Structure 1
Amino acid sequence: MPYFAYKGRNARGELLQGVLESADSGGVADQLFSTGVTPIEIVATSKPKMDGADNWWTKLTEPKIRPIDVQLFSRQLHTLLKAGVPIMRGLGGLQESAINKSFGRVVKDLRESLDAGRELSAAMRRHPDVFGPFYLSMVRVGETTGRMDEIFLRLFDQLEFERDMRERVKTAMRYPMFVVIAMTIAIAVINLFVVPAFAKVYAGFNAELPLMTRVLIASSNFTITYWPLMLAAIIGAAFGFRTYVATPKGRFQWDKIKLRLPIVGKIMLKAALSRFARSFALSAKSGVPIVQGLNVVAQTVDNAYIASRVEQMRDGVERGESILRTAVASGVFTPVVLQMVAIGEETGEIDDLMDEIGAMYEREVDYELKTLSSQIEPILIVGLGILVLILALGVFLPIWDLGKAAMHK
């Protein structure tokens, strides 16, 4: 996504400036408003650079900043602030002890920004690829309420939850992906090497070959003749898909389609709704107004389609509608969740109940991921069986027919 340089003023009238990443200038304005900053000027710019990162060799060899780095940073900062350590001294210690040198440079920039009079949220806003909109908004809430140590602990818990979800999805998909890759390689080897060898043998029979054998040989000849074009088409299709998905419209359409995919679609939906519920509960417990909280939470669900539904909820609440009514209109929540939202609104404990909703979805996702392999295995076995059957019929039917002819003689 492109980067935009901004100038704005916070609630105290102080001038702030920095660089944010967003799809357009309107997205930057929304991010700024959600953190209590009124934008004055927003212009397109290049990606912000940090000291020591301009050298091409440094860019090539420097370690990437991982989510675990931000997670550990949140936990360490919580411990330091809770112990009464001044934030400048705490950041200095974290900079010196940083194992990831790239993240160490980010911490150094945070210290320098604080030393220049910026707030911590404004300093973090200079690194949109490290600290996301939700993280920035929660830090802003901590600055407003004076509960920075508690905010960083909650952010640590949230990041741990998201990391655990990603790891479980990767673990569940490892075996199916391995089987699919192995089948793809097997098909390529059969078409390029196995079938041509048998085709030379069958050519000496001077007899009409069975249909399955002719199909195999035609497929093999096509692959051998046009494999450069097929490879170029696959690469072009992959590049075109990535380019389309990188656009706001393309990402929206793809995220909508993902939720309708067999087996994995329901897991993606529940995972996104779990992130929404957890994030909403965290922002509500931290004292963020509901409208502002929904605006920020929409950016954490990692799905443009669901994010648009959450934004519709925000617009409805802004018009004075209840959370329940807007949740029903969104069309993405289950009846059980809607019932809990209704109870939460009546009792004023929406934050606790949203936490329970997040935990419920998390348990469902955990169960779905544990059974994912068993759900995909029958499909893979059927696919592998069809492949073996086609290969066996195509290769051995001519030999079988030849043997029958010899017996009749």
Structure 2
Amino acid sequence: MPMFQYEGRDRYGRKKTGKVSSISQRQAIVQLREQGVAVKSIQEMKGILYKEVSLGAKKVKTKDFVIYIRQFSTLLKAGISVVDCTRILSQQTTNKLLQQALTEIVEGLEEGNPFSELAERHRKVFPPFFTNMLKAGEAGGNLDEILDRLATYYEKQYKTIQKVKSAMTYPIFLGISSIGIVIFLLATVVPTFTDMFESFGSELPPVTRFVINVGDFVQSFWYLIILFGLLVYFGILYARRNKRSKYYLDYFLLKIPVIGKVFQQAALARMTRTLASLFSSSVPILQAISIVERIIENEVMAKVLRDSRISLESGQSLATPMQKHWVFPPMVSHMIVVGEKSGSLDIILDKVADYYEAEVDQITEQLKSLIEPIMIALLAVVVGTIVGSIAIPMFDIFNKIQ
């Protein structure tokens, strides 16, 4: 947060100087006024010592954004002006990035600028879908209805994302824990028995020799395992940021049995819900598809949507490229064709979104109940193999001693 140096007088007329931390110069003056200081001069303190240090790109959490939109919608419905709504929410939100954006928007609103135009200047906070919906609401004079629709949309999106994350978190955690247990056994437990086996000079079973060799490798080259893990992690991060490689990463994820279906249905739910909201708010169809291309976060579907936009520009159906691609089930393309012919594409897409959101709920619950026993069984097999590889030669040694 910026630091400001000020000079002024307190309520008794005494000269007062100091520093204050605030989102903007205007907000700093308001803060000082509330403390009884009449500001004579104020300026932002420059230099690296007064800059806020941030690691990585700042981003408003989805949960904070969902709460903000619902509160904005509720306040606006209660008859409070857009300026006052924004001022109240800028003071109330705990997210610094959102607070800073709203404070600057309040200043712009007081100068007579439209909210959507001001929101476009803060693209890290307000996505294109949000600003375009606001434009439609401002043009149609139904901003309260649009905000209510946006609040419902983002709440549903948040719930769907949380469902997918919840389904993926447990197997990932269990998988990492299992790898950790196996590495611990191979690096610490297995080597303690190796010397004992060698001292007896007995021939070891193939499975025991294999486990001992793996244990030796882990003990000698543990840093390569860590390096490989880091390379995989940073490789995935790079792939997600690069458009070309992200396409292949998304393609791979969609092709994973069972899990790929979850990602596919979640993306379909998001796409159809977003398009339905944009169409119902009278956003032009080509502009609506361009917006969805940017926010869908799945390059395989985004590529098909680009083809659909080109198809529309050439006078063909929106559904034509979708019918030719495996990522879109026949139901989606057929429903879009019906919507285009009947002129009720927004209603049709809304129903499709409801269907896929329900499917995501169902399949994530099934996935949780399915993955747990599979992961436990897999861990039991691996650990059992390691323990068995040690136990079998030990029984042979005991028999020879007897």
| Structure 2 partner of 1:379 | 374
| Structure 1 partner of 2:67 | 72
What amino acid does structure 1 have at the position aligned with 2:153? Q
| CA distance in 2: counterparts of 1:55 and 1:322, whole angstroms | 56
| CA distance in 2: counterparts of 1:174 and 1:322, whole angstroms | 39
Q: Which of 79, 82, 85 matches 1:87?
A: 82
Native 8 Å contact 1:279 1:300 kept in 2: no
Deviation at 1:391, TM superposition (A): 1.1
| CA distance in 1: counterparts of 2:361 and 2:49, whole angstroms | 43
Distance 1:377 1:125, change over 3 A: same
| CA distance in 2: counterparts of 1:264 and 1:233, whole angstroms | 24
| Structure 2 partner of 1:132 | 127
| CA distance in 2: counterparts of 1:183 and 1:75, whole angstroms | 41
| CA distance in 2: counterparts of 1:253 and 1:192, whole angstroms | 35
Larger mean Cα displacement after TM superposition, 225-234 or 209-218: 225-234
| Structure 1 partner of 2:358 | 363
What amino acid does structure 2 have at the position aligned with 1:105? Q
Within 5 Å, give how 1:37-48 maps onto structure 2.
Answer: none
| Structure 1 partner of 2:284 | 289
What amino acid does structure 1 have at the position aligned with 2:260? G
Deviation at 1:216, TM superposition (A): 1.3
Equivalent residue of 2:221, what SS?
Answer: helix
| CA distance in 2: counterparts of 1:296 and 1:91, whole angstroms | 25
Native 8 Å contact 1:113 1:123 kept in 2: yes
Instruction: Please say if 1:307 is aligned against 2:302.
Output: yes
Q: Which of 242, 256, 262 matches 2:257?
A: 262
Instruction: Please say if 1:115 is aligned against 2:110.
Output: yes
Native 8 Å contact 2:277 2:346 kept in 1: yes
| CA distance in 2: counterparts of 1:351 and 1:359, whole angstroms | 12
Deviation at 1:190, TM superposition (A): 0.5
| Structure 2 partner of 1:248 | 243
Larger mean Cα displacement after TM superposition, 79-88 or 248-257: 79-88
What do residues 300-319 of structure 1 show as CA deviations (whole Å, max 9, x unaligned)?
Answer: 32211111111211111121
| CA distance in 2: counterparts of 1:333 and 1:98, whole angstroms | 39
Equivalent residue of 1:371, what SS?
Answer: helix
Deviation at 1:366, TM superposition (A): 0.9
Deviation at 1:57, TM superposition (A): 4.7
Native 8 Å contact 2:59 2:124 kept in 1: no
Within 5 Å, give how 1:220-239 maps onto structure 2.
Answer: 220-239=215-234
Native 8 Å contact 2:161 2:266 kept in 1: no
| CA distance in 1: counterparts of 2:132 and 2:108, whole angstroms | 18
| Structure 2 partner of 1:152 | 147
| CA distance in 1: counterparts of 2:401 and 2:61, whole angstroms | 68
| Structure 1 partner of 2:188 | 193
Equivalent residue of 2:294, what SS?
Answer: coil
| CA distance in 1: counterparts of 2:121 and 2:394, whole angstroms | 71
Q: Give the paired residue count.
A: 355
- Across the aligned residues of Structure 1 and Structure 2, the Cα RMSD in angstroms comes to 2.4
Identity among equivalent positions (%) equals 30
Structure 2, gaps ≥5 residues long: 1-45
What do residues 142-163 of structure 1 show as CA deviations (whole Å, max 9, x unaligned)?
Answer: 2222221111111111110111
| CA distance in 2: counterparts of 1:370 and 1:233, whole angstroms | 33
| CA distance in 2: counterparts of 1:90 and 1:381, whole angstroms | 51
| CA distance in 2: counterparts of 1:182 and 1:237, whole angstroms | 17
| Structure 1 partner of 2:385 | 390
Structure 1, gaps ≥5 residues long: 1-50
- Choose 1 or 2 for highest CA Rg: 2
Deviation at 1:238, TM superposition (A): 2.4
What amino acid does structure 2 have at the position aligned with 1:341? I
| Structure 2 partner of 1:175 | 170
| CA distance in 2: counterparts of 1:54 and 1:94, whole angstroms | 30
Distance 1:58 1:355, change over 3 A: same
| Structure 1 partner of 2:156 | 161
Distance 1:85 1:279, change over 3 A: same
Equivalent residue of 1:129, what SS?
Answer: coil
| CA distance in 1: counterparts of 2:234 and 2:92, whole angstroms | 40
Distance 1:332 1:229, change over 3 A: closer
Equivalent residue of 1:298, what SS?
Answer: helix
| Structure 2 partner of 1:278 | 273
| CA distance in 1: counterparts of 2:344 and 2:59, whole angstroms | 40
| CA distance in 1: counterparts of 2:387 and 2:231, whole angstroms | 33
What amino acid does structure 2 have at the position aligned with 1:402? I
TM-score (norm 1): 0.80
